A = this chain, B = another copy of it.
Amino acid sequence: MIRILVLLVLTLQLSHTAAQTDDERQIKAFYDLSLSEGKAYDWLNYLSNQIGGRLSGSVQAEQAVSYTKTQLDSLGLDKVWLQPVMVPKWVRGTPEFAYLESKPGYTSNVPICALGGSVATPPGGTKAQLIEVNSLEDLESLGREKIQGRIVFFNRPMDPKLLNTFQAYSGAVDQRSRGAAEAAKYGAVGVIVRSMNLRLDDYPHTGSTNYGDLPEKDRIPAAAISTNGAEFLSTTLKLDPNIQFFFKLNCKQLPDVQSYNVIGEIRGSTKPDEIMVVGGHLDSWDLGDGAHDDGAGCVQSMEVLRILKMSGYKPKRTIRVVLFMNEENGLRGGRKYASEADLNKEKHVFALESDAGGFTPRGFSFDSSESDFNTLSGWQSLLEPYQSAHFTRGGGGADIGPLKKPGMVLAGLRPDSQRYFAHHHAQNDTFEHVNKRELELGAAAMTSLIYLADKYELGTAQ
């Protein structure tokens, strides 16, 4: 019996080693292709520098749809198409303008930008005293008496002690996403929010603010101020609490317009009905060129299919790249894709999103069953040589979220997060801040994960 067990263990180990070796070889080939014949960086150059910021409903967003569709068409995929989706169209209008006024005529300009979705100020701007707070809870303790007629200045910084900057972001972003809605309830006339940025610099960072069910007439204008500006404001307020703040926003919400998700697929050789998605979002904010958020994720996802084709690997399942429209201010693309999948009774088994910047990949986070996570953990050693083997449980990504069903696995690429919020939603989210090799390493890690999930049939459909 012992002898049989030993033999069995040896056999298992041998077959394991053989399988490992095939996988190791295949993954090495993906990395070699990505690092020496990659196309992601060129695509990103075009998206960033020839097209630019791609806010939903903008000319640039439509150019990006057309460009990426053309590029996918050139890859020899089995099918490439556009999936129509109606998207909100919010426009920034005339550049924003703000200053502090210590006494009439004595003013200092500060760099601000409207938060996405904000209403405009009255045409002549809004001028009022400021009240500085650190949290939404502060509003309640201050009460209407102290807030009425004022501009609320939310100034809680992201926590620098948190290693994962996305945690630091989560811990501060309620000021941006709900500050205006909450402050309006206490009679505030406007909201200024410290930018979601761990650096001290002069770039204001935009991002959505959400009024919830607040009636339109009660909505108040909301803007982000750069971190340096926030420090200046706070210091000045301590010296003179009666200082006046002026700001002017010209932004507008227009009627929804037609846009598209861009989709391409390699049809599965033996299980074409099982669909695996890899994607990012094609829209971006309008201040920078959206290179990290999320041009990087889009070109990496396109690159996954290109590398699979070049490598000669024939997936069993259907591998689909989806470039989602409107993640930033509506998630309409993600919702539309999921509802169409339902309508068409498509069986999605796995989805991977890259939407955390084009930095050196450290690993992936997974939204999966315990047992699928155990399977995934068994693959870590394959990514360890590439130092991208940090696997955690967590979300996949906003756009693929609506696809989630029991049995399905969602995954998110997790790049090094230290630099991300220095660029996120700001004027300096630009191509020159993306490193070619870091971008390519992400594409290679994603290809490797898609390959393993296909080969070992991770995830099931309901």
A415-454 CB mask vs B (1 if < 8 Å, else 0) is 0101100100000000000011110010000000000000
Residues of B within 8 A of A163 (CB): 31, 385-387, 441
Q: What residue in chain B is nearest A362 (Cβ atoms)?
A: B387
Residues of B within 8 A of A165 (CB): 437
Question: Which parts of A359-390 form the interface with B (CB within 8 Å)?
Answer: 360, 362, 385-387, 390
- Determine whether the beta carbon of A436 is less than 8 Å from that of B199: yes
> What are 26 inter-chain pairs, A to B, with CB distance below 8 A?
A31-B161, A31-B163, A35-B160, A35-B161, A36-B161, A160-B437, A163-B385, A163-B386, A163-B387, A163-B441, A165-B437, A198-B437, A199-B436, A360-B360, A360-B416, A360-B418, A362-B387, A387-B390, A416-B416, A418-B435, A418-B437, A418-B438, A418-B441, A419-B437, A419-B438, A422-B435
Q: What residue in chain B is nearest A199 (Cβ atoms)?
A: B436
A375-409 CB mask vs B (1 if < 8 Å, else 0) is 00000000001110010000000000000000000
Q: How many copies does the complex hold?
A: 2
* Minimum distance in angstroms from A157 CB to a CB of chain B: 10
* Minimum distance in angstroms from A458 CB to a CB of chain B: 25
Cβ-closest 7 pairs across A and B: A418-B437, A35-B160, A32-B161, A418-B438, A36-B160, A360-B416, A419-B435
Question: Which parts of A219-275 form the interface with B (CB within 8 Å)?
Answer: none
Residues of B within 8 A of A386 (CB): 163
Residues of B within 8 A of A35 (CB): 160-161
Residues of B within 8 A of A436 (CB): 199
Size class of A's contact patch?
A: 20 to 34
Residues of B within 8 A of A438 (CB): 418-419
* Minimum distance in angstroms from A453 CB to a CB of chain B: 22
Q: What residue in chain B is nearest A200 (Cβ atoms)?
A: B436
Q: What residue in chain B is nearest A38 (Cβ atoms)?
A: B160
Please measure, in the bound complex, the distance between the C-alpha atom of A163 and the C-alpha atom of B27, giving whole angstroms: 13
* Minimum distance in angstroms from A19 CB to a CB of chain B: 23
Please measure, in the bound complex, the distance between the C-alpha atom of A362 and the C-alpha atom of B362, giving whole angstroms: 10
Q: What residue in chain B is nearest A438 (Cβ atoms)?
A: B418
A154-165 CB mask vs B (1 if < 8 Å, else 0) is 000000110101
Q: A163-B441, A360-B418 are in contact. List 18 more A-B contacts (CB 8 A).
A: A31-B161, A31-B163, A32-B161, A35-B161, A36-B160, A36-B161, A160-B437, A163-B385, A163-B386, A199-B436, A416-B416, A418-B435, A418-B437, A418-B438, A418-B441, A419-B435, A419-B437, A422-B435
Please measure, in the bound complex, the distance between the C-alpha atom of A187 and the C-alpha atom of B441, giving whole angstroms: 43
Please measure, in the bound complex, the distance between the C-alpha atom of A161 and the C-alpha atom of B437, giving whole angstroms: 10
Please measure, in the bound complex, the distance between the C-alpha atom of A435 and the C-alpha atom of B362, giving whole angstroms: 18
By CB atoms of chain B within 10 A, which of A360, A422, A437 has the most?
A: A437
Residues of B within 8 A of A441 (CB): 163, 418
Question: Which parts of A8-54 form the interface with B (CB within 8 Å)?
Answer: 31-32, 35-36
Residues of B within 8 A of A198 (CB): 437
Q: What residue in chain B is nearest A444 (Cβ atoms)?
A: B163
Please measure, in the bound complex, the distance between the C-alpha atom of A74 and the C-alpha atom of B390, giving whole angstroms: 40
Residues of B within 8 A of A199 (CB): 436
* Minimum distance in angstroms from A377 CB to a CB of chain B: 15
Q: What residue in chain B is nearest A198 (Cβ atoms)?
A: B437
* Minimum distance in angstroms from A27 CB to a CB of chain B: 12
Please measure, in the bound complex, the distance between the C-alpha atom of A436 and the C-alpha atom of B418, giving whole angstroms: 9
* Minimum distance in angstroms from A263 CB to a CB of chain B: 31
Please measure, in the bound complex, the distance between the C-alpha atom of A435 and the C-alpha atom of B199, giving whole angstroms: 9
Residues of B within 8 A of A416 (CB): 360, 416
Residues of B within 8 A of A362 (CB): 387
Q: What residue in chain B is nearest A159 (Cβ atoms)?
A: B36
By CB atoms of chain B within 10 A, which of A32, A161, A418, A441 has the most?
A: A418
Q: What residue in chain B is nearest A436 (Cβ atoms)?
A: B199
Please measure, in the bound complex, the distance between the C-alpha atom of A36 and the C-alpha atom of B435, giving whole angstroms: 27
Residues of B within 8 A of A161 (CB): 31-32, 35-36
Please measure, in the bound complex, the distance between the C-alpha atom of A360 and the C-alpha atom of B36, giving whole angstroms: 24
* Minimum distance in angstroms from A397 CB to a CB of chain B: 21
* Minimum distance in angstroms from A116 CB to a CB of chain B: 26
Q: What residue in chain B is nearest A162 (Cβ atoms)?
A: B35
Please measure, in the bound complex, the distance between the C-alpha atom of A32 and the C-alpha atom of B163, giving whole angstroms: 10
Please measure, in the bound complex, the distance between the C-alpha atom of A199 and the C-alpha atom of B38, giving whole angstroms: 13
